[in-house]
């Protein structure tokens, strides 16, 4: 059973025979493991890093915004870096900022993007500092949580 504030279901499409518990009366067979239905159900500290990531994306007019929280609760916020000589995703940049500031571990990470999932490079960067079990919150540009995965 999903945690409070989450629901399992199927989204989009028609209502075919493989449809179980359709969302919005429709089903295409595409299963969404976890869809956040109530952002207030997020831990306040997780909600904070999603909000920071969203603001970094908007403020800098970049494709992605990210924020990470270290073992002491400090947060590091970044946007995509796209220079001729250097290319980093927002999450890679946020992890690099945490390392450069002396962080030794991560509690959580968030990325606001149009992408369907965190990239392998993003997951690797978070795992390098925080370990394989570090949660990564993936949110759309409107701040809605699309999924939570682990770095590993």
Alpha helices by DSSP H, listed for the chain, are 44-60, 90-100, 120-130
Beta-carbon contacts of residue 44 (< 8 Å; ≥ 6 apart): none
**Domains in the chain, start-ordered, CATH in brackets?**
6-37 (no CATH), 42-150 (3.40.140.10)
- Per-residue pLDDT tens listing for the chain (152 residues): 344 444 333 333 333 444 443 334 443 333 333 444 455 578 999 999 999 999 999 999 999 999 999 999 999 999 999 999 999 999 999 999 999 999 999 999 999 999 999 999 999 999 999 999 999 999 999 999 999 999 99
What is the Cα–Cα distance from 20 to 118, expressed in whole angstroms? Answer: 27
- Angle, helices 44-60/90-100, rounded to nearest 10 degrees: 110
CA distance 21 to 118: 27
Residue 3 carries which DSSP code?
P
pLDDT of amino acid 67: 98
Q: Within 13 Å, how many C-alpha atoms sit on residue 55's CB side?
A: 9
> d(Cα 137, Cα 39) in Å, to the nearest integer?
12
Q: Which residues contact 93 (CB under 8 A, 6 or more apart)?
A: 66, 78, 79, 80, 81
| Burial class of residue 81 (count of CB atoms within 10 Å of its CB; 0-12, 13-18, 19+) | middle
| 3-state SS assignment for residue 116 | coil
Q: Whole-structure pTM over 0.85, yes or no?
A: no
pLDDT of amino acid 41:
78
Q: Are 109 and 136 in contact (CB under 8 A)?
A: yes
């Amino acid at each position: 059973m999903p945690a409070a504030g989450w629901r399992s279901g199927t989204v989009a499409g028609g209502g075919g025979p493989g449809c179980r518990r359709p969302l919005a009366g429709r089903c295409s067979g595409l299963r969404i493991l976890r869809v956040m239905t109530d952002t207030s159900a997020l831990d306040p500290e997780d909600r904070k890093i999603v909000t920071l990531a969203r603001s970094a994306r908007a403020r800098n007019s970049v494709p992605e915004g990210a924020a990470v929280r270290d073992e002491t609760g400090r947060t590091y916020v970044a946007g995509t870096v796209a220079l001729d000589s250097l290319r980093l995703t927002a999450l890679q940049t946020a992890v690099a900022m945490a390392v450069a500031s002396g962080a030794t571990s991560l509690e959580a990470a968030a990325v606001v993007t149009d992408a369907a999932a965190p990239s392998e490079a993003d997951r690797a960067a978070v795992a390098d500092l925080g370990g394989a079990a570090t949660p990564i919150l993936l949110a759309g540009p409107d701040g809605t949580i699309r999924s939570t995965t682990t770095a590993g």
